[in-house]
Structure 1
Amino acid sequence: MDESADQTLSGWRLQGRRVLVTGGSRGLGEAIVKRLVAEGCTLAVCARGVGQLQQLAERIEQRGRTPVFTRALDVAAPELLEDFVGDAAARLGGLDGVVACAGGASGRGLEGASAQDWMRTWELNAGHAARLLAASAPHLRAAGGGSAVIVASISGWKPGPQAQYGAAKAAQIHLAASLARELGADDIRVNAVSPGSMLIPGKRWDRMRQEDPGAYAAFTREVPSGELVRPEEVAAVVTFLLSDQASGISGANIPVDRAQNSPTPQGY
């Protein structure tokens, strides 16, 4: 973990908050976990990779932080996510916040995507977020309220391939707005955060930067500053929304994209 994760960065008074994060072992999810650890949260984290989860937990514990409850699972698998929520709440003594960060896409363009690709993409994104909140709501309610953050994408309202991914992300944005009203009477806030294209080591845009610098330079012109958003910048917004400083924010979709235009090199 970065040395910066050893400091409380914001003073947002999250010390001791019990937070569950899906897809928290790498990329944006890892950045969110690091930030929440720095803020003093107690965490439960799930992801598909056993090894990556173990390494994450070891790095946190080596820094003298509270042990993290982890479990390897596919968030789209029936009942596994719900079981993890229940076990996490029991292990942490309740839940004060949840972050639906796991996601992804299956299939290619319209004619190359099967019905299974659409179903898989839906379950990884909107389906998993809905089931996470349904399973978490009783625990958040028992804690006197809480905050849920759904990690969507600018692809949810800025069109680009593949359609199944954009449609699932748009559903997540609507889900946050709808559930904010449904759960608001119990002081449960629900918001969406929509990251732009992020420069994550080893992922799509980092590979493009190394393998085709010209194409990468052309793509970064979609961002006025010429620089893609960093995962740490998105993690800071997620952390803020989990805090009491965001007590008046619910049902919102907050872009964190440096005013990016198209989410893909293909443009609108």
Structure 2
Amino acid sequence: MDEITARAEVVADPLRLAGRRYLVTGGSRGLGREIVLHLVAAGAHVATCARQEEDLHRLEEVAASGAAPLCTAALDVTAPGRLEAFVDTAAEQLGGLDGVVANAGGARGGDLLSASADDWAATFDINVVHAQRLLKAAVPHLREGGGGSAVLISSISGWQPAPQAQYGAAKAALISMARSLANELGDDGIRVNAVSPGSMLIPGRRWARLRDERPDEFARFCARVPAGDLVTPQEVAAVVTFLLSPASSGINGAHLPVDRGQNTPTPGGY
């Protein structure tokens, strides 16, 4: 069973995504990759961008059994004009847009005393400003289709913050931004929601390394989660897919934690 077929088994028919058109930033790895593959499995037409062209090529190979080829571009979403141009190109190639996901994100710098003003600015640029630019570029295309759905990927650190402060502050801003833009864009039929993943177990990333290198510490961390284990990217992607679909038409301006009830963002607590 290939990856697309496997994902198709967990995407419910009532979502009605066949032929719908979505754009996901940062879609070549981790959560972004899972969101893209969930959408493709549901029959959607998808555009995505990421910095590394080779990662996009690997994604295209996996998604080749989907309803339509991916529209991809290798770019830095913080580069002036590049994201806006990709939104327009994707809308042209897909025949419009029905939704977008601001998934690209990250952090720069250390603690308060070591992080520079440039570190704070860069962290807000990749998280908050990138999401603002994505939505601003997408709104005309969403309006043409009679509305749509936007999902901003925040984090457990946005509402249960831990160091570094610049990352938590940026992710908290996305939660507030979703509520504000839901009100602002509601008359256009555009819904905006925020999703806050918990600490996801992604191969090669922080928590997978902790599991492999310090299993006792990882076990103590998981023991603090009511379910006894960390949330997976697939579980988060399923929620994002739902929010993009017509099945979630009553949800707007919401903040949805997807963290299995995780109560601290790091093994060391807050």
Give the TM-score range, shorter chain: over 0.9
Matched residue of 1:147: which SS?
strand
Of residues 11, 15, 18, the one that matches 1:15 is 18
Conservation of the 8 A alpha-carbon contact between 2:143 and 2:188: yes
Q: TM-score, normalised by structure 2?
A: 0.96
Q: How many residues are aligned here?
A: 267
The structure 1 residue matched to 2:163, chosen from 156, 161, 164, is: 161
CA distance in 2, matches of 1:76, 1:246: 30
Q: What residue ranges of structure 2 are gaps of 5+ in the alignment?
A: none
Q: Which runs of 5+ in 1 are unaligned?
A: none
Aligned mates of 2:30, 2:74 — CA distance in 1 = 16
**TM-aligned CA deviation for residue 6 of structure 1:** 4.7
Which residue does the alignment assign to 2:204?
A: 202
Q: Distance in 1 between matches of 2:159 and 2:9?
A: 35
2:265 partner amino acid: P
AA aligned to 2:141 is H
Three-state SS of the structure 2 residue aligned to 1:111 is: coil
* Alignment check: 8 A CA contact 1:8 1:40 kept: no
- Cα RMSD (Å): 1.1
The residue matched to 1:30 in structure 2 has which SS?
Answer: helix
The letter for the 1-side match of 2:17 is: L
- Sequence identity percentage: 61
1:52 aligns with 2:55: yes
- Report whether the alignment pairs 1:218 with 2:220: yes
Show the 5 A alignment for 1:100-119: 100-119=102-121
CA distance in 2, matches of 1:148, 1:71: 20
Instruction: State the Cα deviation string for residues 1-30 of structure 1 (Å, max 9, x = none).
Output: 524035472111010010000010010001
CA deviation after TM superposition for structure 1 residue 221, in Å: 2.2
2:96 match:
94
1:230 and 2:204 aligned: no
* Matching residue within 143, 146, 171 for 1:144: 146
Query: How far 1:266 sits from its partner (Å)?
Result: 2.1
Residue pair 2:110, 2:164 contacting (<8 A) in 1 also: yes
Residue by residue over 1:135-189, the C-alpha shift from the partner in whole angstroms, topping out at 9 and shown as x without a partner, is: 0011000100000000101111102010000000000001100000000000000
- Partners of 1:222 and 1:153 in 2: how far apart? 18
Of residues 34, 37, 59, the one that matches 1:34 is 37
Letter aligned with residue 89 of structure 2? D
Report the Cα distance in structure 2 between the residues aligned to 1:103 and 1:221, rounded to whole angstroms: 28
